[in-house]
Amino acid sequence: MGSFGYLVGNYPDSWLLQHFPTGKVLATSILGGFVAYGVGHIENPQIALWKYIFLILGGISVIFAVGLWFLFPDSPVDARFFTPEEKILAVKRVAEAKLGVKNTQFKWYQGMGFTTLQTTLLNAVSSGVQIVTLLAAG
């Protein structure tokens, strides 16, 4: 399991909802708005302005991902920021959730866990809602 999945996946859902109910949406909306405003004021652009947004936000994402790669541990045992007691508790929590502590080999059958038909059916609901909303809006 990846580092981010380990950290986020092991928090109880109620904890995440209580502490960050709209944080991601607000942060990305604010950052995106500032970037779009700044890009809109570029004089004599060399490429289309909308391409700058993708380059800037993509660059931020890559830098953030590289930072997280080095910051987050591979398992609770390797976490520098946990005390020995917290490491034991984290390993017990992972064991109770039957997630496994560390697996460095990718298994194709563990991919997303959905067949093509299941993915299509899951997407159909969202598409249906979008169609109804578009038709209702006129």
3-state SS string for 6-23: HHHHCCCHHHHHHHCCCH
Q: Which residue has the higher pLDDT, 128 or 5?
A: 128
Q: Reduced to 3 DSSP states, what percent helix, strand and coil does the chain have, rounded to the nearest 5? A: 70, 0, 30
| pLDDT for the residue numbered 16 | 56
CB atoms within 10 A of CB 28: 11
Rounded mean pLDDT of 44-65?
91
**Every domain of the chain and the residues it spans:** 3-112
Q: 75: pLDDT confidence band, cut at 50, 70 and 90?
A: confident
d(CA 85, CA 77): 11
Q: What is the pTM of this model?
A: 0.50
What contacts 93, CB < 8 A, 6 or more positions away? 10
CA 96 to the chain's CA centroid: 24
Q: Which of 66, 84, 97, 81 is nearest to 1 (CA)?
A: 97
**C-beta atoms surrounding 129 within 10 Å:** 10
Report d(CA 112, CA 119) in Å as an integer: 10
pLDDT band at 76 (very low <50, low <70, confident <90, very high): confident
Binning pLDDT at 50, 70 and 90, where does residue 122 land?
A: confident
